[in-house]
Chain A
Amino acid sequence: MEQKRKERLDRGIKVRSDTIYALMSVKEIAYLVLPRLVLICGLLIAPLVMPSMYWQRVISIVCIYCLLAISFDFLAHFVGLVSLGGAFFIGVGSYLAAILNTYWGLSPVLTIPLATIFGALICTILLLPCLPLRGVYFAIVTLMYPLALARIIEALDIFGGTDGIMGVTSFPGRWVELYFMVGMVLIFLFGMRRLVNEDIGLVFRAVKDNDQAVRASGMNVTFFKAIGVCIASAMGCLGGACLVHIYMWAGISQFALDFSILPIAATVIGGAGTLVGPVIGCIILVPISELLRTFGTLRIVFYSLILVGFIVFRSEGLMVYGQRKYHQFERWVRV
């Protein structure tokens, strides 16, 4: 029987636009810029075309999940720490922002940056003892952190206990909120893409691929992991702080599983290790989840099943698939 296999070759335009020759013609520049421009413009226009207040609110929520998903993707696929505790970052960020706002009366202009920075520091310090752990162990320990904090808050009855902290100030306006969120997603998305291609990104990836080699090069593995966690948790805490000011309320439900599982699902669907993939995954998943809100917990069933389907049958994700089709052409050749 005649056997065939699929051969993949880079498109000519891709090869040309990889180098300085990209500047030769409009076509090559467009080849590079167009996909990015579509995403940026799409995100910037989205709030304007949304039919109702409700759907504008959904965009803010999408942005929060985007931040979390980027942080998950960065930690898992560039630093090699699979953190199942996105809810931990969100929870710490939101409680910090709520405390700063209600107890000390600071305005959102101050609470959001403060909660981001100090939240990142707190998360890093709390996670510091677990950083030497690998693989499964780190995943389990991070899964336990949000549960532990939620139970401790519940048991000690601090920070409002099960009722949470109410009466947090909201953003000064709808448009400020929307464009602040969208702007933050874009800044962090492109910032992270740049970061992982800098020198430090190289070290991060080395930590992921072969930590013994990093150690042998005289670099402190735990130190770089701590920096990675700090960056990732800053994104998570920023999301949490914004969430508090959007909902005007902080509570134990911010440690809930939603914030751990949805970003992971978005990353798996969107394409792991691309940083853009998680954003696209969130843009697809969160609105679907909102549409299914009337079905109650069925939406968790729904995105769990999507997650299983993708992780088992299509583990590369949409973005990697899309990139392959965009950059390469395929043909069948005889073996």
Chain B
Amino acid sequence: MDIIIYGIINSISLALMALGFALVYGISRLPNFAHGALYVVAGFITWTLFKAAGLNYLLSIILAMAITGLIGGLLYQFILIRVRGMAISEIIASYAMGLAVLEGLRWGGFKGMTYTLPVFAQGSIMIWGVPVDYHRIIVVGIGAAVVLFLWIFTRSTRVGLALRGMAQDERASLMLGIDSDVMAVVAMVLGSALAALAAILLLPLGNIVVEAGYNVLILAIAVCIVGGLGSWFGAVLAAFLIGFAQILTVAYVGSHFQMVVAILAIIITLILKPSGLFGKQKELEERV
């Protein structure tokens, strides 16, 4: 029983981590390797606003999401847009930016056990004989709400439809008067804000550490690769696949192998079916 419940919680957490990455890649074909850095930065911004500046928790959360979104947007507008379309340069540039941010934070003394965010609600509840704390239930609730919100957003608002148009065919959407550069920035802002949301929801369960940035990046890539780059539905499904695989490994093999599962999932998926389980890329574009 606890495998099922913690599997669901873990899967929703993974989906939250990966949504931002999947969104950005799906829309502007930018593999945003700075995703993990944005995640950690959001955690530290919330911590600074809440603990150091003494703001209201809710207010600091909203501010942190806004600031992280802004950072993402600026990063795109001033650096990544210049290498747009050159996939390898995009990877190297965004990865180097992420690395600079993370290692800069580490140098600035943000390490160790001292940085924690409070959980939203104390206490726990028994579900079918398994103790689950309220915070994890809130994570699942908000995670599901975010997926639903994104689904509605991309289907019924102007910006959402424009984003989907970009994702499907950039030239056709250009002809219909959609500014692809603006939309790419919008996508990056949204993706960064999603990374921030994931950070704010998941970081109270542990410490804010720089290493989380690398792990989140690997997990996000794992989810997106297995689900198929550019497919949001696939990403959510893959989150469940990897989430349960991880929980099963922890239960039956050992907790050391949690990351190995994610990394092996990436490697095996790429070898067998690079476009992922639900990818829309053509075979020829990815393999010889």
CB within 8 Å of B: which residues of A?
76, 82, 84, 129-130, 132-137, 139-141, 144-145, 147-148, 151-152, 154-155, 211-212, 215, 221-222, 257, 261, 264-265, 268, 295-298, 300-301, 304-305, 307-308, 311-313, 315
Contacts and interface: CB of A to CB of B under 8 A. Distances in A.
B274 A133 contact: yes
Given A134-B285, A148-B264, A297 B107 contact: yes
Interface in B240-288: 254, 256-257, 259-260, 263-264, 266-267, 270-271, 274, 285-288
Identify whether the interface residues of B are mostly helix, strand, loop, or mixed.
helix
Nearest to B78: A312
Given A136-B31, A301-B103, A311 B83 contact: yes
Contacts of A141: 266-267, 270-271
A257 B263 CA distance: 16
Nearest to B272: A129
Nearest to A138: B270
Determine chain A's interface SS by DSSP, over half rule: helix
A204 B31 CA distance: 27
8 contacts: A132-B288, A134-B287, A136-B88, A141-B271, A296-B107, A300-B100, A308-B96, A315-B83
Contacts of A308: 79, 93, 96-97, 100
Contacts of B104: 297-298, 301
Contacts of B256: 151, 154-155
Shortest 9 CB-CB distances between A and B: which pairs? A155-B256, A304-B100, A300-B103, A304-B96, A297-B103, A148-B263, A129-B271, A132-B287, A307-B96
Select the residue from A82, A84, A261, A308 with max chain B CB neighbours within 10 A: A308
A152 B257 CA distance: 8
Nearest to A130: B271
Contacts of A215: 288
Contacts of B259: 147, 151
A235 B93 CA distance: 25
A308 B82 CA distance: 11
A305 B87 contact: no
B107 A298 contact: yes
